[in-house]
Each structure stands twice: as structure tokens, then as C-alpha cells.
């Protein structure tokens, strides 16, 4: 019973819990990218960790967060066109926590997380809306046809697996061919009416992102808002294992959520995604 009360106390302090999970996710992400630009990262890590170890009980400055932020910025500067989209989200989340470590105002922290999440969702929806290839269903059609989306469900059907394998081989052959020859291929439908389903799913995706963004902007603490947000998260996971991005979204949800049961669910989602990221399953 005492342990149960301890768990409830931790869930009540959801801001500190979310910060700890963000630090864990950040450490894992930094470790995965550690080999990139290692000659620049070694002195940053060495000096930063040395200062943190020697002054961790004597300074109020968040040395570890500052070191990780510098490493994120370094990766962004060197590989601006190659880093994942959630790299930008991670940078802004770290900045938000860095500012919080100085002003100590939870209302400001939560407002920053709320607006950051709203901007991310609206920007994602707008980017899709302005893309003809996405809105006409071509993106989903191509990704499903080659087995890059909903593969967990599609691969259960033997006939679908054979079609996906054939499409993948055709795409590989096209990539290896001379582009000046003007060769093209026609992908086979994994299942009937895939074209119409892809168009419908594209519009539903944009509508849901706008709806969730408005809900978070309007009522960021509402249980219904977080239920819709969690449904969106699970839908993304079913479609594609965007584990790194989903972990950050769930941490944002944990920051804003006022329902203890949903906080627990957010924690499970984050831990599950971090486990997949560490084992390099999905897209970290």
C-alpha cells in the first residue's frame, strides 16, 4: 500500500516526471547520434561532464541540460537537411526546460509546452495540406504499396505480402536503372480500392491533426482532449513506428495532462518507445 501511495505521489508531480523522461529520451537520442561528428563532440562531452561532475552540488545551473543542448545544436548545424523532424521538437523542448530551471514558473513551462505542441501539429497539418502528392493519396499509396506503412497488419495476409515484395523489387529495379531512359513502373494494389482509401486517409490525417491542435489550444487539461491525442498517437504507431517522435509527443501530453490514469498511459507509451529506440526498432 505504501508503494502505491509513492506511485500516486510521483504521478501527481507530473512536471518533474515529464522532465525526467525527457532527460532519459534525450540521453538515449544523444547516445545514438554520438558517432556523428565525434571529433567535435568528444571535447564538448568531456568538458561538460567534467564540469557537471565537479559542480553538480555547488551550482544551480543545469550543466547536463546545457551540454545536451549544445550537442543537439551541433548535430543540427552539421546535418541540417538530414536530421529528423523531431530533432527540432527536441531542441525546443530542451530550451523550454532550460528556461524553466531558471524562472521556476510551472505555468510558464506548461504554456510553452502547450504552444509548442499546437505549433507542431498545425505546422504538420499545413505542410501536408500544401503537398499535392500527400493530399491526392500518392504518399500513402506508395508507402503502403512498398510495405512501409501498416506493415504489421498487411503482412499477416500472404497475398498482400507477395504483392508488397513484387512492388519493392520493381521499385529497386527502377532506382538502379538509368533515369535518362524514362523508364516507369506501375505498382500493384496491395488490396482493393487502395487508391480511394489512400485519399480518404490523407484527408482524415489532416483533419485529425487540426482537431487535436485546436483541442489542445482550447482545453489543454481536458480528459477528452488527451483521449483524442492518445488515439492519434496510437494511430501513428500502428501506421509507422515513429518511436522517437511519439515519445516526445507523449512527454508533452504528460506535461499537460491532469488525469492520473492518462498520465500512467503516457508513461507507458514513453517507456515503450524508448525501449524500441534503444533496440533500434522503428524510426528513432
- The three cell numbers locating residue 188: 500493384
Which residues, in sequence order, are CB contacts of 196 under 8 Å at separation 6+?
A: 137
Ordered alpha helix ranges (H), the chain: 2-12, 14-32, 38-55, 63-78, 85-103, 106-129, 132-135, 138-145, 151-154, 158-176, 194-218, 223-239, 243-256, 260-278
The Cα–Cα gap between 92 and 248 comes to 11
Instruction: Return the minimum-mean-pLDDT range out of 144-158, 159-173, 270-284.
Output: 144-158
- The three cell numbers locating residue 192: 482493393
- 27-35 average pLDDT score: 83
The Cα–Cα gap between 91 and 70 comes to 10
Q: Per residue in 205-240, pLDDT tens?
A: 999 999 999 999 999 999 999 999 999 999 988 888
Q: Per residue in 88-126, pLDDT tens?
A: 999 999 999 999 998 889 999 999 999 999 999 999 999
pTM beyond 0.85: the answer is yes
Instruction: Return the minimum-mean-pLDDT range out of 58-62, 219-223, 240-244.
Output: 58-62
Q: Are 255 and 109 in contact (CB under 8 A)?
A: yes
Amino acid at each position: 500500500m505504501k508503494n502505491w501511495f509513492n506511485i500516486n505521489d510521483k504521478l501527481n508531480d507530473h512536471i518533474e516526471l515529464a522532465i525526467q523522461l525527457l532527460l532519459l529520451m534525450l540521453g538515449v537520442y544523444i547516445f545514438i547520434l554520438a558517432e556523428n561528428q565525434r571529433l567535435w563532440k568528444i571535447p564538448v562531452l568531456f568538458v561538460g561532464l567534467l564540469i557537471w561532475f565537479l559542480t553538480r552540488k555547488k551550482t544551480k545551473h543545469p550543466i547536463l541540460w546545457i551540454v545536451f543542448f549544445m550537442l543537439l545544436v551541433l548535430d543540427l548545424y552539421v546535418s541540417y537537411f538530414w536530421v529528423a523532424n523531431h530533432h527540432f521538437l527536441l531542441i525546443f523542448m530542451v530550451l523550454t526546460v532550460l528556461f524553466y530551471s531558471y524562472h521556476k514558473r510551472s505555468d510558464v513551462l506548461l504554456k510553452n509546452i502547450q504552444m509548442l505542441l499546437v505549433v507542431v501539429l498545425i505546422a504538420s497539418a499545413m505542410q501536408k495540406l500544401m503537398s499535392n502528392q500527400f493530399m491526392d493519396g500518392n504518399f500513402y499509396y506508395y508507402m503502403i504499396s512498398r510495405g512501409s506503412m501498416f506493415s504489421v497488419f498487411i503482412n499477416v495476409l500472404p497475398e498482400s505480402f507477395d504483392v508488397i515484395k513484387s512492388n519493392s523489387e520493381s521499385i529497386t529495379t527502377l532506382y538502379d536503372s538509368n533515369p535518362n531512359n524514362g523508364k516507369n513502373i506501375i505498382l500493384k494494389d496491395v488490396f482493393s480500392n487502395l487508391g480511394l482509401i489512400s485519399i480518404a486517409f490523407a484527408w482524415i490525417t489532416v483533419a485529425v491533426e487540426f482537431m487535436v491542435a485546436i483541442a489542445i489550444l482550447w482545453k489543454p487539461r481536458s480528459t477528452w482532449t488527451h483521449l483524442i491525442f492518445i488515439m492519434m498517437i496510437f494511430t501513428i504507431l500502428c501506421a509507422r513506428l515513429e518511436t522517437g517522435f511519439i515519445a516526445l509527443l507523449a512527454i508533452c501530453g504528460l506535461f499537460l495532462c491532469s488525469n492520473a490514469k492518462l498520465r500512467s498511459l503516457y508513461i507507458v507509451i514513453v517507456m515503450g518507445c524508448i525501449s524500441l529506440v534503444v533496440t533500434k526498432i522503428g524510426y528513432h
